[in-house]
Amino acid sequence: MSKYAVELQKITKTFLNGTLVANDQIDLNVKKGEIHALVGENGAGKSTLMSILFGLYQPTSGTIKINGKEVIISNPIKANKLGIGMVHQHFKLVEVSTVWENIALGVEHTKSNILLDKNKIKTEITQIMNEYNLHVDLDAKIQNISVGMQQRVEILKILYRNVDILVFDEPTAILTPEQIEGLLKVMINLQKAGKTIIFISHKIDEIKKVANTATVIRHGKKIIDLDVSKISVSEIGEAMVGHKIVEVKNDYKKPVSDEPVLQILNLTVKKETNNKINGLETFNLDVKAGEIVAIAGVEGNGQKELIEAITGLTKASSGAIIFKNLNLLEQNIGTRYKLGMSHIPEDRHKYGMLLDFTVQDNMISQEIDYYPFSKYGWINKKAIYRYSQGIIKDFDIRGSRHGLALARGLSGGNQQKVVVGRELRKQHDLLIVVQPTRGLDIGAIEYIHSQILHEKAQGKAILLVSYELNEVLALADRIVVINEGKLIGELPAQGTKKEEIGILMTGRQKGDSTHEMKI
């Protein structure tokens, strides 16, 4: 009997008639009952390798063994039958259907092969929820539950299919710190129950918390297997990127001017899901040239309403947003960008990209009507090519095929680099940044952080929303904490500790923290 749940031997996967090598003779051995991390830079080939294990791709060459037996995994259904399930970075859920319908989709119990046996399905799901402490409202529609709950649904989907090998592809990329801690506990519970877990992640501190072994992949090749208990966080990071990581920190210089570039005055915005409730209430904030103001808070406390009101994705109930002496609430989205606003959105698929357009087209999609990309209605393809190549090179966007690849075909991290590169490179005075390094590896995070700080040095006004407190502390000059749609307090980033921010994030007021706050 083999001690390995998964054995991938000399796996090679090429695309575009062999011109693009995603995996190059990779060996991966995963012991039964372990949490095995798969780490590497964006575009290193991690997700491709796991897509082969799950039957989404067929290997160009190499063999797969499951529990010691050589198999051919032709599709995800075959993978499920072999006891393999996969939680994808971008969820595969039907938003208009209920939780229980999504979990049972394709493997429903029926009465007389005609009617759905709803009670039996829900009873079985409830048993799984109780066993693994994965509770969620089974009758809620997917579109009405949080991202963290949606991820629970994805996990329940594969557990419902009675799998023993679980693949998590960047599972924490879109979660808040609290949701991440909850997921890591779930993974440990699954391991205790005898499950084998393959965990794709860029976040080394998470790998240290839960993984037994880490396999490093770089440029499609396996580099090394690491015993996580015997190696430091910095050593894992260096193995991933091939060089020492330099921490990027804010210099805390004063703003260029005391005059605010962005003024938010008594802004109130209704919740998208319930227009009788305020998602943001009488919110006030100034952002000056040459400073980074970070919004900290648990997800769902008004950040979404604030950003969408500023960028024009939703209408405010009252108040004003002043930028260049104009109230943005009276301006359309196009005008806001023409005035000099850049926006890195939280959801790159929904708001940041045209997935079925090329990488090159995505980079100039907002500026195609302007010189040098067009003149008198004629498109200048050479200018577009030169511009896009500069971003591809500077931001190390892999798999773009010189900008001609469809955006949909890039890894999640490289899609994020396209959005970040486009928004930082175009002309702007105000930068709205939400989760800028979501899904990025440690080397890319280092570069993006340095670019955001360069924006500050160039006198740009920057409003940052991040659920990563390490990111907030590394980049911000001022930290504004939001809770239940209200501004709870403000802290200078220099000298502030995570614990002080955490106290405010829970909604506690002045006097609960030793740090002096501006209310």
Lowest mean pLDDT among 83-97, 107-121, 369-383: 107-121
Do 229 and 208 contact (CB within 8 A), yes or no? no
Q: Which fold has domain 4-241?
A: Rossmann fold (3.40.50)
Res 488: pLDDT: 92
The reported pLDDT for the residue numbered 508 is 63
Q: Which CATH number fits domain 246-340+429-519: 3.40.50.1970, 3.40.50.2300, 3.40.50.300, 3.40.50.1100?
A: 3.40.50.300
What Cα–Cα distance (Å) separates residue 23 from each residue in 27, 59, 103, 284?
Answer: 10, 9, 32, 50
Over residues 97-126, the mean pLDDT reads: 89
The SS3 assignment for 188 reads helix
Task: Band the pLDDT of 209: cuts 50, 70, 90.
Answer: very high
The whole-number pLDDT of residue 469 equals: 86
Give yes or no for residue 239 having a pLDDT over 90.
no
Under 8 Å between Cβ of 151 and 175: yes
User: Which pLDDT belongs to residue 43?
Assistant: 81
Counting residues of the chain whose pLDDT is more than 70, the rounded percentage is 97
pTM, entire model: 0.74
Question: What pLDDT, on a 0 to 100 scale, did the predictor assign at position 509?
Answer: 56
What is the H or E stretch that residue 155 is in? helix 147-160
What is the rounded CA–CA span in Å between residue 19 and residue 16?
5
Q: Which residue has the higher pLDDT, 237 or 405?
A: 405
Model pLDDT, residue 511: 52
pLDDT of 418 higher than 60:
yes
Angle between the N-to-C axes of helices 442-457 and 233-241, in degrees from 0 to 180, rounded to the nearest 10: 90
- pLDDT of 289-345, one tens digit each? 999 999 998 878 899 999 999 999 999 999 999 999 999 999 999 999 999 999 999
Tell me: the pLDDT tens digits for 219-234?
899 999 999 999 888 8
For residue range 250-274, list pLDDT tens digits in order.
889 999 889 999 999 999 999 877 7
The yes-or-no verdict on residue 515 having pLDDT over 50 is no
Closest-CA residue to 365 (of 445, 422, 447): 422
> At residue 194, does pLDDT exceed 60?
yes
CATH 3.40.50.300-classified regions of the chain? 4-241, 246-340+429-519
Q: Which of 202, 191, 137 is nearest to 166 (CA)?
A: 191
Under 8 Å between Cβ of 464 and 295:
yes
The reported pLDDT for the residue numbered 99 is 95
SS (H, E, C) 461-511: EEEEECCCHHHHHHHCCEEEEEECCEEEEEEECCCCCHHHHHHHHCCCCCC
Measured distance CA(375)–CA(377) in Å, rounded: 5
Going by pLDDT thresholds of 50, 70 and 90, the confidence category of residue 514 is very low
pLDDT, residue 183, reads 84
Q: How far apart are CA 98 and CA 125, in angstroms?
A: 13
Query: Does 18 have pLDDT greater than 90?
Result: no
Average pLDDT across the chain, whole number? 90
Handedness of CA 330, 333, 336, 342 (dihedral sign): positive
Q: Pick the closest to residue 495 from 237, 320, 249, 258 (CA basis).
A: 249
Give the residue, 472 or 148, on which the prediction is more confident.
472
Confidence of residue 513 (pLDDT cuts 50, 70, 90): very low
Q: How confident is the model at residue 176 (pLDDT cuts 50, 70, 90)?
A: low
Name the E strands within 170-259: 196-200, 213-218, 221-227
Res. 32: pLDDT tops 70: yes
Of residues 61 and 111, more confidence is placed in: 61
Q: How many CB atoms within 10 Å of residue 357?
A: 14
pLDDT at 174: 65
Q: Which residue has the higher pLDDT, 322 or 444?
A: 322
pLDDT (0 to 100) of residue 106: 86
Q: How many CB atoms lie within 10 A of CB 39?
A: 27
Give the model confidence (pLDDT) of 45-59 as tens digits.
Answer: 998 999 999 999 999
